[in-house]
Amino acid sequence: MRDALDNPFSPGSDTIPEVWAGRTEQLSDWRDVVRPRRIAGLAERGRTILGEPGLGKSALVRRIAQDAARAGDWVTPQLRIPAGADPLKLVASALLDLASSAGLPASREKRITDALSRVGAVAAAGISLTLRNAPGPEPYVALRDLLIEVGRAAMSRGDVVALIHIDEVQNVTDEKALSQLLIALGDALTYEAEVHVPGGAGVLRSLPIAVYLTGLPDFEDMAGARKGATFARRFKSTTLSAIDDDDLAEALQEFVIHGWEVASGAGTADRIRMTPDAADTIGDLCRGEPFLFQLAGEQAWYAGSDATITAEQVRRGWRGARREAAAHVERILDRLPAREREFVEAMAALPASDRTLTRIASSMGMKKATDAGPTAQRLDTVRGIINRGKPYGFRHRAVEAYLTSDWPEA
């Protein structure tokens, strides 16, 4: 009854998982804040979703984009920035597609024709020296102008938002390219167009444009520290952390209560159920990590072929995934600078009740607690790995489990 074709779990593929867990705050932010305000012509910042690998950043915004497309909005695909690539070329191509959705290529207005022509040049040449030395505006101006025209078209349609999703933004290492990209997007977000209301009066309103940037925590340093307050004014940053156990349990409730519907060979529908202790075991093993949640579910599905997933099947499937789970956490630790890695390892070596900044700094060989303060702050506010409470705790529960127990052993 269970096979690869009907497995609803999908770890690490950047697809939108069928078994969705958590992130209600970010989904509600789109439905209840960003989209309504943008459609109403009210100013609203772009969103930057950051976090360590495996926390579901891309899948979250793909889910938001899916909801937007279903509502009739104009949505770019997930614009993944490869390392060393020219981001302006990629965004320019996507904007041309959005302009096509808006019907702009059919327009006879000169400013629209000029904007399409200039962005076509950016899509062909990017931020190359040839384009910079050519007559006309900088590439970012061309992108901004076309995005504004797309926003005007969306405004004229009513109840339509143009949503741009740029992924892996930490790969934009060229400082000029990053600056041009952020300014083009930010200028379009803050642009106000004059519209006429009954009575003939003109009022200014923001365009229905929404921008989502996703990437690793390093991006906040690249954009915030180097570009100063402009980025912070135009984009609201969120650092994702582990999903609550209650949200994980809710995601598996369909299995436990009703069963997950799959097609049977006879053309009818069967249901795959999960025992309550099997659901609890998946929640315990994944430690709030969306990637590990999908991995544990996927392997439990393959660990049997009958209509009920048991806790023993979850453990059996997990035994085949232990190496991948350990490698996932090791990659996160390997990304940390030496001082930050030393901090989390010293913190993990202490009993939970003794995890104060003073004790951690002492374990690291520092004379003063304040010497470890900046490292602790980065691990909390930038990376989302620890929580500077009283005492300190781990927000990244898989890192904590890896450093303090025999996890990923089942």
CATH code, 383? 1.10.10
State residue 28's pLDDT score: 97
What is the spatial distance between Cα 54 and Cα 240, in angstroms, rounded to a whole number?
A: 10
SS3 assignment, position 177? helix
Is residue 370 a part of any domain in this protein?
yes
Q: Is the pLDDT of residue 266 over 80?
A: no
Residues in the chain: 410
Pairing of the two strands 386-387 and 393-394: antiparallel
- Confidence band, pLDDT 50/70/90 cuts, at residue 227: low
State residue 131's pLDDT score: 47
Query: What mean pLDDT is predicted for residues 244-265?
Result: 92
CA dihedral 246, 247, 248, 252 (to 10 degrees): 100
Residue 358, amino acid:
T
Residues 47 and 193 in one domain: yes
- Confidence band, pLDDT 50/70/90 cuts, at residue 213: very high
Query: What mean pLDDT is predicted for residues 301-325?
Result: 95
Last-in-domain residue among 196, 212, 239:
239
- Confidence band, pLDDT 50/70/90 cuts, at residue 135: low
Residue 337 in tokens: 């600078």
Q: Is the pLDDT of residue 272 over 90?
A: yes
Residues 157 and 42 in one domain: yes
Q: Is the pLDDT of residue 39 over 80?
A: yes
Last-in-domain residue among 203, 219, 239:
239
What is the spatial distance between Cα 74 and Cα 4, in angstroms, rounded to a whole number?
A: 33
Query: What mean pLDDT is predicted for residues 86-109?
Result: 88
Query: What mean pLDDT is predicted for residues 319-340?
Result: 95
State residue 285's pLDDT score: 97
Q: Are 88 and 127 in contact (CB under 8 A)?
A: yes
- Confidence band, pLDDT 50/70/90 cuts, at residue 130: very low
Q: Is the pLDDT of residue 201 over 80?
A: no
Write down the mean pLDDT value for the chain: 90
What is the spatial distance between Cα 230 and Cα 233, in angstroms, rounded to a whole number?
A: 5
Residues 57 and 73 in one domain: yes
Q: Which residue has the tokens 């690249």?
A: 222
What is the spatial distance between Cα 189 and Cα 77, in angstroms, rounded to a whole number?
A: 19
- Confidence band, pLDDT 50/70/90 cuts, at residue 129: very low
Residues 209 and 338 in one domain: no
Question: How does DSSP classify residue 396?
Answer: S
The percentage of residues in the chain with a pLDDT greater than 90, rounded to a whole number, is: 69
Is residue 47 a part of any domain in this protein?
yes
Query: What mean pLDDT is predicted for residues 396-410?
Result: 94
Specify the pTM.
0.90
Strand order in the sheet with 308-309: 260-263, 269-274, 308-309
Which backbone phi and psi does 130 adopt, to 5 degrees? -60, -45
> Angle of helix 110-125 relative to helix 139-157, nearest 10 degrees?
130
Q: What is the CATH number of the domain that holds 195?
A: 3.40.50.300
State residue 352's pLDDT score: 95
Which backbone phi and psi does 56 adopt, to 5 degrees? 80, 30
DSSP 13-63: SSS--SS----HHHHHHIIIIIHHHHHTT----EEEEE-STTS-HHHHHHH
- Confidence band, pLDDT 50/70/90 cuts, at residue 313: very high
Residues 299 and 337 in one domain: no
Residue 358 in tokens: 């003073």
Q: Is the pLDDT of residue 174 over 90?
A: no
Question: How does DSSP classify residue 244?
Answer: P
What is the spatial distance between Cα 400 and Cα 379, in angstroms, rounded to a whole number?
A: 13
Q: Is the pLDDT of residue 355 over 90?
A: yes
Query: What mean pLDDT is predicted for residues 20-42?
Result: 95
Residue 27 in tokens: 């989904």
State residue 225's pLDDT score: 58
Is residue 14 a part of any domain in this protein?
no
State residue 263's pLDDT score: 84
By CB atoms closer than 10 A (0-12, 13-18, 19+), residue 396 is buried
SS3 assignment, position 206? strand
Q: Are 34 and 28 in contact (CB under 8 A)?
A: no
> Which residue range is the domain that position 299 belongs to?
243-320
State residue 128's pLDDT score: 60
Residues 235 and 247 in one domain: no
Last-in-domain residue among 239, 255, 290:
239
Residues 341 and 297 in one domain: no
Residue 226 in tokens: 């180097």
State residue 228's pLDDT score: 52
